[in-house]
Amino acid sequence: MRRLRNIKIVATLGPASNDYDTVRKLHEAGADVFRLNMSHGTHEEIRARHEMIRQIEKDLDSPIAILADLQGPKLRVGTFANGEEELIEGAAFRLDLEPEPGDATRVQLPHPEIFAALEVGSHLLVNDGKIRLRVKSCGLDHADCVVTTGGTISNRKGVNVPDVVLPLAALSDKDRKDLEFAAALGVDWLALSFVQRPEDVEEARALCGGRAAILSKIEKPSAVACFDDILAVSDGIMVARGDLGVELPVQNVPPIQKRLIRKCRAAAKPVIVATQMLESMIDSPMPTRAEVSDVANAIYEGADAIMLSAESAAGSYPVEAVTTMDNIAVEVESDPTYRDVIEASRAAKRVTIADGIVAAAREIAETTDIKTICCFTQTGTTAALVARERPRVPIIAMSPLRGTARRLALTWGVNCVMTGELERFKQAVVNAARAARTLGYAGEEDQILVTAGVPFNQTGTTNILRVAPCDERLIYRTDPE
């Protein structure tokens, strides 16, 4: 399905988007990737949504990526005898392992691993940072704190610990079961929550066994601190700004977002910007001007994808939210300033033959009347390298592997087309010309660029760049057998 923009849209499915007609409308409105939130819904409900997406993919003959988002460990306080208490700034408050209901002076925190990591001066944030505590003294079973920001605390509110790396695995027992279920189901991407170190990603990859690509969610300061190492072992990144904005000063998030996007682009790995992008559209058919600017900024920064969460999962206007995001993207990408920003942020990287091939393809396309770049790819690497260049012309990725085509639905500017196994380069050129014409990117009188690797059907062999006509008769006249 041809899009009029390059950035991709991720839409979360939920109660508001739980039937065939709505999900199909979401895809037709612009959703390229569907997110299945493993925090909500049973395995049977997740399976039903997965089957629905695959049916839509078949009906529309349009590769769709499915992303399963693992919940990660959830750190929460216990319960209160009165259901809630008011904490006053400057008051003392104790967290401990005792199971008795809490009061205005203490509450259970049933996570001994937190106490093992705390130090004097560490901060604990409760209820998305609305309540802030500073540790005055601590032991293996308690922490005596002072309330630095007061407010109402109630049963089982979430706890964030921004100052320390917690001795917690990114995968809980629930996550391990969900990972195995989702990987066996056939999802294309697995999003890993609570990533603190590269070892968290490597553990998930070992359990996944190559059945899905691994996307690391950056939502903790410790992940930002060792981001380069996490990026190196990840297939993609999600900038999860919600938790980042809780655990870090909010003014730190925008520069971090920009920095992470540039690093992902340099590594030719897709990056999603997520959280609160069009949040007001949960209840309103129109976004705020600030939200529109927020979405636009992510597009100007060169992100691969922007994501809707509750807007499409539980909101009153799921299709309108996707349509709005699509409209913003089309408008931004038609702005001459967009090209100026994207090209100014392009970092030259010439390490391999494939790097040189894709850079040359982009330069030729921009200095001649080339209509599209067609790349043949087994694993998706060549298409990702072409996308890293952010060319001005469309990218068509052709692969015999449906899994590769689906995963590339998350990558900037890539239009995925299934093709058969190839044995000769002439076949590749003919298939590329047909795809360019079918998608409406070129006519018979136009020229395209074709990249491929010979021998075919082997990974890491990108070594050919050919300017070719879209007229098959000319291809057969000029290309040797």
Name the catalytic one among 12, 157, 275, 372: 275
Q: Exactly one of 5, 8, 12, 35 is catalytic; name it.
A: 35
Sign of CA pseudo-dihedral 347, 336, 259, 12: negative
* Cα distances (angstroms) measured from residue 443 to each of 101, 439, 465: 72, 10, 20
35 is catalytic: yes
**Which stretch of DSSP H or E encloses residue 397?**
strand 395-399
**328: CB partners within 8 A, 6+ apart:** 292, 295, 296, 299
Q: Measure the CA–CA gap between 289 and 269, rounded to whole angstroms.
A: 30
What residues are paired with 330 via a beta bridge? none
Residue 362 among the catalytic residues: no
Three-state SS at 345: coil
Q: Catalytic: which of 205, 217, 220, 406?
A: 217
Location of structure tokens 């190839």: 422
- CA-based nearest residue to 239, from 323, 302, 288: 302
Question: Of 76, 176, 263, 402, which is the active-site residue?
Answer: 76
CA distance 75 to 52: 33
**Is-catalytic flag, 152?**
no
Alpha helices, H only, 345-392: 353-367, 381-388
Inter-axis angle of helices 43-60 and 20-29, to 10 degrees?
50
By annotation, the residues acting in catalysis are: 35, 76, 217, 275
